[in-house]
Structure 1
Amino acid sequence: MKKIVFITVILVAIFTCTGCRNSNLPAIDKNETEEKIQIGLSFDSFVIERWQRDRDVFVYTAEELGAEVNVQNANGDVNKQISQIEYFIDKGMDVIVIIAVDSEACKDVVKKAKEAGIKIVAYDRLLINSNVDLYISFDNEKVGSLMAKTLKDNIPPGGNIVTIFGPTTDHNVMLIEQGFWKVIDGSNLNVVYSVNAVNWLAEEAYNAVYEALKITPDIAGVLCGNDNLATEAVRALAENRLAGSVIVTGQDADLAACQRIVEGTQTMTVYKPVDKLAKAAAEYAIKLAKGESIDVDTTINDGTWDVPYVKLEPIAVDKNNLDEVIIEGGFQKRDEVYLNVTDK
């Protein structure tokens, strides 16, 4: 009988202690069960090579910081992008990061998001009249100045040039054009043909070169708003046996552009360290979601409001510094850049 009572006491003690331990489990696991910060990332499209890199770095950084990222691709359709942002609002995102198809078209849906308490980050392209919580990009006026300087430094006075800018719906394009004209005005270079490529469609550059050649066969330079446009511009020049003898500029340091630079058919590209941009944007998004100060002193006017502006510096890249900036910097691989060059 004593033996049975003793065993019973032991079992009661074990169950009692076990219950005590279980009652403390929620406190131990509290941090692990907290809801993660939710970020909606809305892209214009992935047609431009660099956007895939921006996405990957942003998502990786945000997830390392404990957030979850929902990526949506509008495929260049502004109405689709607005619909996707509305989806983010319905899902109760903490932050929405927008690479705008149209810099002005999103202001109403952005207002709706802000009224729902969601923070808004304009990534790379400013959202006009939208009073975003942060705009993060490069110095786009300087991008235009760097392109123009390459043309001015390499073309004799009186030379004819063609300009193929991006779409007017992209606010950055206006800034690039401003930077371009600040250098070109008074340079004695003649802009014989100019076009804005709708939706950044590369074939517009191909057509522009042919239209310019109808005006004059003497083309000394072609400014391309990005490297994708430069691909088609160089193709048109090559068909007219002009590739390599015409100064061609681009932007983004795409692999194909870097290959053309070492091969001699593109003169320069403007490199924008997108890894740095995407990483910083993810870090700022987390801070905004937590209600922390972002400590940004610079502002830019969006047409109505002065909004916080994080401005990164672009770098002009040509054959003289491509190895140092692009290859040694880890942006592109040497064997891929020099793939078609026998004498490396």
Structure 2
Amino acid sequence: MQKAFCIQGSPSLPDFLSSVGLSLDLPSGRSGAFRRTLSSSFDLSPAVVSVAARIMPSAACDRNFGRHVMSRISTGLASLALVTTALFGPAGLGSANADDKPTVGIAMPTKSSARWIADGNNIVKTLQSRGYHTDLQYADDDVPNQVSQIENMVAKGDKVLVIAAIDGTTLSDTLHKAAQRGVKVIAYDRLIRNSPDVSNYATFDNFQVGVLQASSLVKALGLPDAKGPFNIELFGGSPDDNNAYFFFNGAMSVLKPYLDSGKLVIPSGQKTMDKVSTLRWDGATAQSRMDNLLSAYYTDRHLDAVLSPYDGISIGIISSLKGVGYGSGDTKIAYVSGQDCEIPSVKSILAGDQYSSIFKDTRKLAGVTADMVDAMLAGKTVPVNDTKSYNNGVKIVPAYLLTPVVVTKANIRPTLIDSGYYTASQIE
């Protein structure tokens, strides 16, 4: 036989219930009098909804209404945690307000990059402005840590996960478990591979990012008009990040004709991703590789340009170049590309060291992500503009691609300051 229960609690219980928009549901015939007593004694708001949970059998509650129920509210339980567990079960407080929105879990890879900090903050701000609760976690570039964080989000009942994967090949089992509980997954800027449980992908046009990076170097060198040949070295992103291949392929689509014609030369001969990738996008790793390239191939020649896929890598490359005299005296600094318009690189561009970066407005990406969350939870069609490009090895993941913008010294102010992304004091 199903039991009905009656609330027992302390003087703090009514205040607690009122604060979360709840009141007590009592046996028939007692509710009105009890609500009036609570209202006068504890100043409860009348605009509340019922809690369908009680702690004493209703028959006992009827027999001992005044003595047991009111005295229990006066003398109380030992802790509020016990009250919430009794009311709502081990899953914790549920929403009693039909307008209350669920929690969105946000799994970011690292705080070592200013870009990811900005992403996390912008997603939280945008989702919270739409009424969602958020659970933002950074994994310190540790894959097991990120897996654990995602599993905890699912266990806590997060309804949608926004994931910027550290290693896009490691989450298949974790996402399968999430899918079994009805959790939707948005791959954020980095495609999650080998999983049928990725619902959508929010990102920028990553092939175009590479096109813009290489095109900026071509322009800086004066190609196609300049005769050359010019010496160039290539750096790629992390081999476990699907985006790294899009960036590299986009760049090579621009550079290859000049390499084939001899106007561009790679003295090291390192020109494929297996040779030029930079694990975890690490600037120190890039700097070490640049040191080795300079000592092995440039003791008697000048390096004219470096394709770099990310600002953190660019800073490492430039440090290496400066370490052997580039940018001082008559030795011209090589043209170096980048991505993300991180503040150190923006300052480097203004100083004439780094040549270019790619601006990816994370505010817009957060907006697209929030639109996806809205549609998923409302059972509506998720907004996408690409259904062909992103095969994760198991399925084509429907994506929304935003447009990247190349930034040089000439357009920093209108692109980064006038848009409100940075203040002048941050970068000048």
TM-score range for the pair, normalised by the shorter chain length: 0.7 to 0.9
Greater alpha carbon shift after TM alignment, 165-174 vs 243-252: 243-252
Matched, 1:190 2:265: yes
SS at structure 2 position matched to 1:135: strand
- Could you tell me how far apart the structure 1 residues matched to 2:314 and 2:113 are? 12
Correspondence for 1:11? none
1:151 matched residue in structure 2: 217
Residues 154 and 66 (structure 1), Cα distance of their counterparts in 2 relative to 1, 3 Å cut: same
Map of 2:333 onto structure 1: 245
| Counterpart secondary structure, 1:69 | strand
- 1:277 pairs, out of 353, 362, 365, with 365
The correspondence for 2:297, drawn from 215, 218, 221, is 215
* Shift in CA distance, 251/27, structure 1 to aligned 2, threshold 3 Å: same
What code does the residue aligned with 2:364 have?
A: K
Distance (whole Å) between structure 2 residues aligned to residue 148 and residue 207 of structure 1:
23
1:321 aligned partner, one-letter code: N
**1:25 correspondence with 2:12:** no
Report the equivalent of 1:341.
none
In structure 1, the residue matched to 2:396 is 306
Does the 8 Å CA contact 1:41/1:72 hold for their aligned counterparts? yes
Residues 248 and 116 from structure 1, CA distance in 2 versus in 1: closer, same or farther, beyond 3 angstroms?
same
Q: Which amino acid aligns with 1:240?
A: V
Q: Whole-Å Cα distance in 2 between the matches of residues 34 and 108 of structure 1?
A: 33
Q: Provide the residue aligned with 2:147 in structure 1.
A: 82
Shift of 1:327: 1.4
**Structure 1 residues 17 and 165: alpha-carbon distance in aligned structure 2, compared to 1, 3 A threshold:** closer
Between the aligned partners of 2:265 and 2:142, the Cα distance in structure 1 is 35
Aligned counterpart, 1:115? 180
Choose the corresponding residue for 1:105, options 134, 149, 170.
170
- Find the aligned partners of 2:209 and 2:385 in 1 and give their Cα distance: 22
Quick one: which of 172, 179, 189 aligns to 1:124? 189
Whether 1:49 aligns to 2:137 is: no
- Indicate yes or no: 2:419 matched with 1:329: yes
Per-residue CA distance 1:20-53 (angstroms, 9 max, x = gap): x989633599975765311111111111111111
State the structure with bigger RCO (CA 8 A, min sep 6), 1 or 2.
1
List gaps (5 residues or longer) in structure 1.
1-13, 339-344
More deviation, 328-337/58-67: 328-337
Counterparts of 1:297 and 1:319, CA distance in 2: 31
**Which residue of structure 2 lines up, in the alignment, with residue 166 of structure 1?**
237
Question: Do the aligned partners of 1:230 and 1:250 also contact (CA within 8 Å) in 2?
Answer: yes
> In the TM superposition, what is the alpha-carbon distance from 1:317 to its structure 2 partner?
0.6
d(CA) in 2 for partners of 1:54, 1:297: 21
Instruction: Tell me which protein shows more strand as a share of its residues.
Output: 1
Equivalent-residue separation in structure 1 for 2:284 and 2:35 (angstroms): 74
Corresponding residue of 1:138: 204
| Contact residue 62 and residue 283 of structure 1 kept, 8 A | no
Distance 2:172 2:338 in 1: 30
Structure 1 residues 154-181: Cα deviation after superposition (integer angstroms, max 9, x where no partner): 2353211122221110000010011011
Q: How far apart, CA to CA, are the structure 2 residues paired with 1:41 and 1:203?
A: 28
Given the two structures, how large is their TM-score scaled by the length of structure 1?
Answer: 0.87
Q: Read off the aligned partner of 2:417 and give its amino acid letter.
A: I
Q: CA RMSD in A?
A: 2.5
Using the TM superposition, give the Cα deviation of residue 74 of structure 1 relative to its aligned residue in structure 2, in angstroms. 1.2
| SS state at 1:185 partner | helix
Whether the 8 Å contact between 2:205 and 2:402 is mirrored in structure 1 is yes
Structure 2 unaligned regions, length at least 5? 1-31, 52-94, 271-275
Secondary structure, aligned partner of 2:353 = coil
Number of residue equivalences: 325
Tell me if structure 2 keeps the 8 A contact 1:103–1:125.
Answer: yes
Q: Distance in 2 between matches of 1:189 and 1:232?
A: 23
Identity of aligned residues (%): 27
**What is the TM-score with the length of structure 2 in the denominator?**
0.71
Matching of residue 225 in structure 1 with residue 225 in structure 2:
no
In structure 2, the residue matched to 1:8 is none
Q: Which has the larger radius of gyration?
A: 2
Correspondence for 1:263: 351
